[in-house]
Amino acid sequence: MLDLLIFVAVPYISIALALVVTPYRYFSGRLTWSAYSTQFLERKTLFWGSVPWHYGVILLLAGHAIGFLFPSAVQSLLSNFSTLLAMESIALGLGLLALLGTVILVFRRAFTGIRAVTEVADWIVILLVLNQAITGVYMGLFARWGMEWYLHTAVPWLYSLLTLKPNIALVSGLPLMFKIHVLGAFLILAFLPFTKFVHFLFLPFGFLFDPPILYRWVRDRRAKRI
């Protein structure tokens, strides 16, 4: 029953929310689309929280995505034991980095002057990522070779979700920590359109190719640039 909830119901609801509400927010409430930086009010602790967290999580997310998109390529790469060992160690390092970051961020929310700009939504966001970091690092330490078994359990299960034939058997035997990690991940997806999580959806890359100065014209409504 719990498995059904974690591996079928929550994922589908979360995906639906993310797919429907995100565009809605984009078109109706873009004025609230921001990372709501609090650096302006407190910067010393933020540095030690935000930088490790983001460097950790972005690389780890990329790792998850690569494993999901190219399972067989990753599989053959990891068949070399020393590669697997190296990759696992790097991942664990990044995980610890992210964990360190989130713990600092949580303390910062609780004990520094930024309480004035902290609302329930901020707590939801930060506790959800704390959960991801704790459960992730736990698996790195106590459920070894996650990189390997991820490819044979979570990835096929995710594909089964996508093809609308959810196959819980692939993942139901995995440890509780894994289940909490998955639940947390989909809750993040569910909360994404409602919170400042949206901040990482539209990553700016255009500026890498644009000329530096941007002009906008009312007159002929063409963006003219120099």
Partner 1 sequence: MDVRAQLVMTFNLDKCLGCHTCSISCKNIWTDRKGAEYMWWNNVETKPGAGYPKFWEDQERYKGGWVLKGNKVKLKAFGKLSTLLNMFFQPHMPKLEDYYHPWTYEYSKLYEGGEEDDQPVAEPVSLITGEKMEIEFGPNWDDDLGGSPLYAENDVNLEERRILHTFSKLFMFYLPRICNHCLNPACVGACPQRAIYKRGEDGIVLVDQNTCRGWRFCVTACPYKKVYYNWNTGKSEKCIFCYPRVETAQANACAHSCVGKIRHVGVLLYDADRIDEVIKAKDADLVEAQRRIILDPNDERIVRLAKENGIPDSWIEAARKSPTYAFVKEYEIAFPLHPEFRTVPMTFYIPPLSPILATQRIAYEVEDYDEIPSRESLRVPVRYLAKLFSAGNEEIIHEALDKMIALRYYMRAKNLGESFDESVLRKAGLTPESAERLYKLMTLASYEERFAIPPAHREYLDAKDAEMRKGAKGFGILSSTRGGV
> Could you list the residues that contact ligand HEM (CB under 6 A)?
35, 37-39, 46, 50, 54, 57-58, 61, 105, 122, 125-126, 129, 199-200, 203
Least distance in Å: CB of 46 to partner 1?
6
> Pick from ligand HEM, partner 1, none: which does 213 bind, CB < 5 to 8 A by kind?
partner 1
60 or 139: CB nearest ligand HEM: 60
x/- track of binding to partner 1 for residues 38-57 (CB under 8 A): xxxx-x--xx--xx-xxx--
How many whole angstroms separate alpha carbon 132 and alpha carbon 64? 13
> Pick from ligand HEM, partner 1, none: which does 27 bind, CB < 5 to 8 A by kind?
none
How many whole angstroms separate alpha carbon 175 and alpha carbon 129? 20
105 or 171: CB nearest ligand HEM: 105
43 or 144: CB nearest partner 1: 43
1 or 206: CB nearest partner 1: 206
Long-range contacts of 110-114 (CB under 8 A, 24+ apart): 112/42, 112/45, 113/41, 113/42, 114/38, 114/41, 114/42
> Pick from partner 1, ligand HEM, none: which does 61 bind, CB < 5 to 8 A by kind?
ligand HEM
How many whole angstroms separate alpha carbon 144 and alpha carbon 72? 20
136 or 166: CB nearest ligand HEM: 136
> Pick from partner 1, ligand HEM, none: which does 206 bind, CB < 5 to 8 A by kind?
partner 1
How many whole angstroms separate alpha carbon 62 and alpha carbon 65? 5
With 0-12 / 13-18 / 19 or more C-beta atoms within 10 angstroms meaning exposed / middle / buried, residue 68 is middle
Least distance in Å: CB of 82 to ligand HEM?
29
How many whole angstroms separate alpha carbon 168 and alpha carbon 38? 41
Our finding on whether 191 is near partner 1 (CB under 8 A) is: yes
Q: Where are the beta strands (DSSP E) in 49-128?
A: none
145: left (phi over 0), alpha (psi -120 to 50) or beta: left
